[in-house]
Structure 1
């Protein structure tokens, strides 16, 4: 059985833990990486996709030999999206498995718990999927680095998109927000409002709504949005929550009566694939990685190779996990090993990576102050496109937003 079939067989079934390596660990002492992902439960797809991408990254690192990259051994544990469980796993990986790095985590609330645990043990934590800006601002510690777009990047791009495409000079825009009732949703809404003000967009708040995480019935919220009509409804959901919301909202007139937008996770491929022909057209969406953007050889290769392994196209979590493993290998190489943590931190703070989501002529670079990787954000509208089945709708009509050279620090409460 090839490694491709092995990783597929293990992770598509929903594994509890997995250990994989870039080379035979018998060749020497490897750099040990402990990754925490939900492999089961509502967010399990993100963890399973991350597991496949980690193996892809390890194979890529091996192909770079003898360029000085370290041997990596990766242990993947199932967090089930639980904060306390994740803290316990992180502590065990550090104290018993003696990992050199932690990586991963989907939920921002879980990531805060893991980041605090990593800092207590002076262990580097490479975040690959969660997005709350608090981890790169007030909760930032010297051992935390994020390798995927955060909501602050998404909301800055979203504010620019609204200014360019929807600003009305004659009257304020009416904007409603609905998002999950935890830090990720709160920060996204705070940041969007502040960036809209910075962009000079005049707007009024038609309403804000906070369903619980993993809500199953959005009917009352959909009715409230219909009863308080807005020019724009900005949605802050992701994963199964967004899928459930769209399925229920399309049974109403919501998508016909307002412009629906989701700038951070709405364009994730698993949403498009699950809905198929039922995905509404004309929604304004983005994600942290797209199967059909950028139209580069590197992105097409990444997407196609993932499909060969997993039998499906990747969610955005895959590219984040891929970036995280490459970042660890690059930092250890630049620091000439694990003996000097300051050298590793310096390498991470000066990191530059060419990733599948990077358009031609651009490389993702680390902001040394916030420890946030700065990346390009692509926002578009849903259109018919059956290139990547089972999706019948993809995002097109792109607007592209490059990051600022340094990442802004905003007031956590713009009101």
Structure 2
């Protein structure tokens, strides 16, 4: 699949023959007629249902974004192969925001005002996600976030047309504190010197006070994003002799840190917990140390159910790759929309909001509903330890714990407090 920047007015249509089980699943959602199973679906002349996706196909998050687009495209193709929704075909329109918030604003506004999209899916980065959400609020278009997880979106910047199926950064840090917090008394931290990382440490520390009141932090390291040499940070951490290291590194930064820290024996000297993405696991391969506590959002190897297994099989056949968390959550966003459109019998915004608010959705990560106060999906956080598995050419997580959203999301009082004028 080629991911070229879309020009004005261009339509990004996808064509993929769904498996029988996917056809049956979407036939149930869409209420399509049996003709969809017999051959080419027959659609009404009411016009396509349009999905807008202004996301980040250029920049450091490009691999993550391509996975998201893959997942959304597969869902759109499956729905169309099963007869569409409301007897209408779905069209996906993708724009490249290049990790630039101003482009996110421009593209989202164009998708709404010129392309007349009915629904939106969020981008990759939180910075662009903030602008996409703001435009969705202005034009009252439903938007589902699948990757941006700044807590500001469901908390102080919330609006009724916003939904999210990704745990917020607050939730992920609390989940990590729940799992690695009891593992020692002396803690250290390493994370990129940017807002999300500083927030992550704050939320971790706040929960650690509850999980392990006697714990103390003995070292903090704040390398710049894209740091090529971690030597000084590694020696600083080792010299502090922590029992546990909490890492907020990811992507190329995590890969570089792991490869440079291994020769120093860092992973033998302390327990390590970190954010982990599929791209990190694939990039490190067997260089990934065993026994590292990793946190993921939708690890395919831990979702052992019929829907996920069929999705993995189709994804492997189409892309010759294993589906990253982003692909799974992109596909899930369309499962939510499909069920809500069927329930509402419409793509009218307020009707969809009501249907999503009042629904429970069967996703690959399990049954999911959205809390009314912030439209946060009650999705779990997955934390396990890295292990070798002969089925994969990279490490995966074993002994995976599902930390439920209800245990780690902010209380309603916290949400309301965040919305008070400062």
Any idea what SS the aligned residue of 2:284 has? helix
**CA-to-partner distance for each residue in 1:249-273, whole Å, 9 max, x for gaps?**
22332222221101xx41x222111
Q: Secondary structure of 1:302's match? A: helix
Measured in 2, the distance between the counterparts of 1:378 and 1:43 equals 21
Match of 2:303 in 1: 294
1:63 offset after TM fit, Å? 5.3
Structure 1 354/96 Cα, relative in aligned 2: closer, same or farther at 3 Å?
A: same
* Distance in structure 1 (CA, Å) of the matches to 2:410 and 2:283: 36
In structure 2, the residue matched to 1:218 is 230
Equivalent position of 2:206 in the other structure? 194
Give the distance between the partners of 1:46 and 1:19, measured in 2 at CA.
19
Greater shift, 151-160 or 134-143, is seen at 151-160
User: Residue in 2 aligned with 1:5?
Assistant: none
Measured against aligned partners, the alpha-carbon deviations of 1:221-246 in whole angstroms (never above 9, x if no partner) come to 22322232321111112223322322
Aligned to 1:403: 405
1:370 alignment partner, one of 352, 366, 374: 374
Q: SS of the residue aligned with 2:110?
A: helix
| CA displacement at 1:309 relative to structure 2 | 0.9
Larger Rg: 2
Corresponding position: 1:326 with 2:335? yes
* CA apart distance, 1:328: 2.1
Partner secondary structure for residue 404 of structure 1: helix
- In terms of fraction of residues, the more helix-rich structure is 2
Residue 16 (str. 1) matches residue 33 (str. 2): no
Find 1:282's aligned residue among 291, 308, 320.
291
Matched with 2:55 is: 37
1:353 to 353, 361, 366: 361
Instruction: Give the whole-Å Cα distance in 2 for the aligned partners of 1:21 and 1:375.
Output: 28
Following TM superposition, by how much is the alpha carbon of 1:344 offset from its aligned partner in structure 2, in angstroms? Answer: 1.6
Please show how residues 168-183 of structure 1 align to structure 2 within 5 Å. 173-183=185-195
Whole-angstrom CA distance in 1 between matches of 2:160 and 2:192:
29
Whole-angstrom distance in 1 between the partners of 2:251 and 2:42: 36
Provide runs of 4+ in structure 1 moved above 6 Å: 22-26
* Other structure's SS at 1:20 match: coil
Per-residue CA deviations over 1:332-374 (Å, capped at 9, x if unaligned) read 22222133x322211222232222233xxxx122112111111
8 Å contact kept, 1:132–1:183: no
Indicate how the Cα distance of structure 1 residues 287 and 69 shifts in structure 2: closer, same or farther if over 3 A, else same.
farther
Q: Secondary structure at the match of 1:285?
A: strand
CA distance in structure 1 between the partners assigned to 2:128 and 2:84 by the alignment: 37
- 1:141 has 2:159 as partner: yes
- In structure 2, the partner of 1:111 is 129
Q: 1:227 aligns with which of 239, 244, 255?
A: 239
SS in structure 2 of the partner of residue 160 of structure 1: helix
What TM-score do you get using the length of structure 2 for normalisation? 0.83
Q: Distance in 2 between matches of 1:272 and 1:105?
A: 22
Partner of residue 184, structure 1: 196
Q: What is the alpha-carbon distance in structure 2 between the residues aligned to residue 84 and residue 228 of structure 1?
A: 42
Rounded Cα–Cα distance in structure 2 between residues aligned with 1:186 and 1:328: 34
Q: Which stretch shifts more, 187-196 or 304-313? A: 187-196
Aligned residue for 1:28? Answer: 46
Question: TM-score normalised to the size of structure 1?
Answer: 0.85
> In structure 2, do the counterparts of structure 1 residues 83 and 375 end up closer, same or farther at CA, with 3 Å as the change threshold?
same
Q: Which runs of 5+ in 1 are unaligned?
A: 1-7, 168-172
Cα displacement (A) at 1:44:
0.8
Deviation at 1:72? 2.1
Q: Which runs of 5+ in 2 are unaligned?
A: 16-40
What are the superposed Cα offsets for residues 277-299 of structure 1, whole Å, 9 maximum, x if unpaired? 11111100020111210222222
Please state how far the C-alpha of 1:67 moved relative to its aligned partner: 7.4
Who is 2:30 aligned against?
none
Alignment CA distance shift 1:125-1:228 (3 Å): same
Structure 1 residues 349 and 329, CA, compared in 2 at 3 Å: closer, same or farther?
same
Cα distance between partner residues in 1 of 2:387 and 2:344: 46
- State how far apart, in whole Å, the 2-side matches of 1:69 and 1:134 are: 37
